[in-house]
Chain A
Amino acid sequence: MTLQKLIKIIAIFISILLIWQIVVTLTSIEHYILPSPNRVLIALNQNYGILYKHSVITFSEIILGLILGVGLGFFSALLMGYYKLARDWLMPIVVISQAIPVFALAPILVLWIGYGLASKIAMATIIIYFPITAALLDGLIRTNKEQIYLAKIMGASSWSIIKNIKLPSAMPSFASGVRIGAAVAPIGAVVGEWVGSSGGLGYLMLHANAKMQIDLMFAALFILALIATLTYFSIDKLMKNLIYWSAQS
């Protein structure tokens, strides 16, 4: 990241804080409706230990969900790209699974696999799986036909064509899918925590809200946004390295 970019981000951040402070001062709104940035900062400082503990839980859910979702999506897309039969039978199932809202699935997942990490990881995985699968499969199918034709004339096996031509060609699409995955993974994890859990930032926010500790709730929200942003930008950087040859950066 260049210095200029960093300055820009800091400037945006400070402007948001300023606007927030001005709104609070001008409207003299009660602190239990909208706490001032200063109060949130104090809450952050006072609850450092508890915020850290819950952040680790949510962060683990997001990362493990991402790994599982990307892995499963990758193999499903590969399978469907390789066997047309698999595509014809699996794609409708994948699409139908996507049509069921994750919110509706959450209570069932909690019921089945419990209040712990597993149900949240499952949520994140499910929410990530579809964009990855759809993006990679699309990339595999849209490989330049002429390139495949050339490979066939060169005597390449169909596995060799997948490995050497289709899969690398599909990497830019795959990278887009992973970016979307990284953006929605925190949603999966937090929704899971709201529905039923014993830890995580979503859990903390729900409880702080119930106890009218709105400053703590905002502190948790701030940490969550920070985690989500950092995850997204790290993944984005990783994807740019993966598709070093592609100018679409």
Chain B
Amino acid sequence: MQTENFNANFDIDISIDSLSFGNLEIFENFNFTLSAGKWTSVLGKSGVGKSTLLRGITGELDSKTNFSITCSDKAPLKGRIAYMGQQDLLLPWLTVFENVTLGMRLRKERDPVSIANAYELIDKVGLRKYCKEIPENLSGGMKQRVALARTLLENKSLVIMDEPFSALDIVTKLEIQDLFAEMLRDKTVLFVTHDPLEALRLGNYIYLMSGSPAYLQKVSELSGGIPRDIKNHELQSFHGELLLAMRED
């Protein structure tokens, strides 16, 4: 589809010496790697610092913090990230098409190839008929599809997602997860969630984030590709274990 597809072919090492707000230390000696072209899920309770971690990776925290990010291709990470939040973040006054092309609008780009790609992506997420609708007329699942198309049009190597499915009902959630897994297949994806099922279903690599200051714990790798079947026994047993671990923390 895209003439120049920035598929992820580099790993990203993230290392945090320390990060604190006031006297509260959030992270300490915190190291992990995002593998090229894989989904990494970070599971943690609310308030453990998941969103702060994402803010740090996207470079939106105070520069005073000791956050070091190294990409294996030696280029800086800045400008190579696409973001999806807990809310769909669609602008209510723009149509579906205008929301998908928001990045171009914000950067004042008028690239015919990207416009063609936008239509193709809207088609792929199944919203061709809704191009001219405003978000108010869409369901929650449809809005999340628009947000996905917007993210994909940005065509970045790393996709960061902050609980992107949390506002959806369980059936829609599973359906949207499948769509995301398919469409973001070749990307390096980091997503944080408080839902162990979601983390297990979508993570090639799964980390549990807990404690204060927070630390990461790697969960044993599950077999098979993503999205994993929810009836998978291995997944189900890990689900129970993770719930217990999160409760004890």
Residues of A within 8 A of B (CB): 144, 146-147, 149-156, 160-161, 164-165, 168-169, 171, 243-247
Contact = CB atoms under 8 A, between A and B. Distances in A.
A160 B107 contact: yes
Contacts of A171: 93
A161 B82 CA distance: 17
Nearest to B85: A146
B89 A168 contact: no
Given A149-B60, A153-B83, A245-B134, A168 B107 contact: no
B135 to A, nearest CB: 8
Given A155-B103, A160-B108, A168 B93 contact: yes
A165 B105 CA distance: 11
Given A152-B60, A153-B83, A154-B102, A147 B107 contact: no
Contacts, number: 55
A114 B86 CA distance: 58
Given A149-B60, A245-B136, A247-B136, A154 B92 contact: no
Contacts of A151: 102, 106
Contacts of B85: 146, 149-150
B106 A146 contact: no
Given A154-B154, A155-B106, A160-B107, A147 B86 contact: no
Contacts of B136: 245, 247
B216 to A, nearest CB: 23
A151 B107 CA distance: 9
Contact of A164 (B83, B86, B105): B105
A7 B98 CA distance: 41
B154 to A, nearest CB: 7
Nearest to A171: B93
Nearest to A169: B91
B58 A154 contact: no
Given A149-B58, A152-B60, 14 more contacts: A147-B89, A150-B83, A153-B60, A153-B81, A153-B83, A154-B103, A155-B103, A155-B106, A161-B106, A164-B91, A164-B102, A169-B91, A245-B136, A246-B92
A152 B81 CA distance: 11
B241 to A, nearest CB: 32
A164 B101 CA distance: 12
B87 interface: yes
B106 A156 contact: yes
A247 to B, nearest CB: 7
B58 A160 contact: no
Contacts of A146: 85-87, 89
A245 B92 contact: yes
B79 interface: yes
B41 to A, nearest CB: 20
Contacts of A144: 87, 89
- Please indicate which of the listed interface residues A144, A243, A245 has the most CB atoms of chain B within 10 Å of its own CB: A245
B91 A147 contact: yes
A109 B107 CA distance: 47
A236 B230 CA distance: 53
B248 to A, nearest CB: 31
B106 A245 contact: no
- Among B58, B86, B93, B154, the one with the most A-chain Cβ atoms within 10 Å of its Cβ is B93
A247 B135 CA distance: 12
A147 B85 CA distance: 9
Contacts of B81: 153
A188 B106 CA distance: 41
Nearest to A151: B106
Contacts of A168: 91, 93
A168 B105 CA distance: 14
Nearest to A149: B60
B107 A156 contact: yes
A149 B93 contact: no
Contacts of B154: 154
Contacts of A152: 60
21 contacts: A144-B89, A146-B86, A146-B87, A147-B89, A147-B91, A149-B58, A149-B60, A150-B89, A151-B102, A151-B106, A153-B60, A153-B81, A153-B82, A154-B106, A155-B79, A155-B106, A161-B106, A168-B91, A169-B91, A245-B92, A245-B93
